[in-house]
Amino acid sequence: MLYRAKANLNLYSSTELNSLATQARAGRLLRLPPEWEVGKEPLLVTLVEDDYPAWLNPADEASLAPTDEAYRYSPLSEAEIQTRIPAVIAFAEAAYKTPNEYLWGGTVAPNYDCSGLMQAAFWSEGIQLPRDAYQQEGFVQPVALEDLQVGDLVFFGPAEKAKHVGLYLGEGRYIHSSGKDIGRNGIGIDELRLDGEEVSRNYFSQWRTGGRVVESYRSKHINV
């Protein structure tokens, strides 16, 4: 059964509901198991557009409305996506200029995590991305550092998988939402260089790869 969020929702990483996994902005589709009972206990739901599972607080079930409207996928060519990149960047820069802080799991303004900001910026122009940084890295077309172009994603992290992502602005600069430990506790603009200031050095020492968005993500589990 599909439901639509009537308000922005927090969704959690476990039944303890003490760690944010992601957020669902108003209007998003959620798939609920057919056997669910109202108000009983935390419920494992799936955000339809990016196939992302998370736990719903039963106190928020009133913010869901059943819908007969099916998931709709709108394919985009790489050329169409490129025409929308300036608006994607404008969204990220507007978020940067709005008072904000880093929020693990944040995908709704004003507070984002790194991949949440990327997802929100691209989705503002109808380009769907997977949720987490490592999922976004696996989805995009790989691009070497020397071949980056404006609008590419840039990925950082250990050898195992990407744990951080930003949006390339050109001339070695990228915009991203970073945490408190090695970042800015919010959205900032940094450089891909080891001899820059501290935050730039912190992330570039974990450089993995770049990636170009050449298609819009399509849900794997919902029939069009």
> Which residue out of 56, 92, 114, 192 is catalytically annotated?
114
Instruction: Please tell me the distance from the alpha carbon of residue 52 to that of residue 26, in angstroms, as a whole number.
Output: 16
Among residues 88, 188, 180, 189, the alpha carbon closest in space to that of 129 is found at: 88
> Which residue out of 176, 203, 212, 213 is catalytically annotated?
176
Task: State the DSSP string of 118-157.
Answer: HHHHHHTTT----SSHHHHHHHSEEE-GGG--TT-EEEE-
Rounded to the nearest 5 degrees, what angle is found at the Cα of 111, between the Cα atoms of 106 and 113? 45
Instruction: Please tell me the distance from the alpha carbon of residue 135 to that of residue 123, in angstroms, as a whole number.
Output: 16
Whether the Cβ atoms of residue 4 and residue 47 lie closer than 8 Å to each other: no
pLDDT of the residue at 39: 67
Phi, psi of 149 (to 5 degrees): -130, 160
DSSP 29: E
Cα 155 versus chain centre, distance: 13
Cα 154 versus chain centre, distance: 13
pLDDT of the residue at 69: 86
- H or E segment at 116? helix 114-123
> Which residue out of 164, 188, 192, 211 is catalytically annotated?
164
- Catalytic site residue 114? yes
Tokens of 73: 């996928």
Domains of the chain: 2-66 (2.30.30.40), 78-212 (3.90.1720.10)
- Catalytic site residue 176? yes
Tell if the pTM clears 0.75, that is, is over it.
Answer: yes
List per-residue pLDDT tens for the chain, 224 residues long. 899 999 999 999 999 999 999 999 999 999 998 776 666 789 999 999 999 999 999 999 999 999 998 888 999 999 999 999 999 999 999 999 999 999 999 999 999 999 999 999 999 999 999 999 999 999 999 999 999 999 999 999 999 999 999 999 999 999 999 999 999 999 999 999 999 999 999 999 999 999 999 999 999 866 64
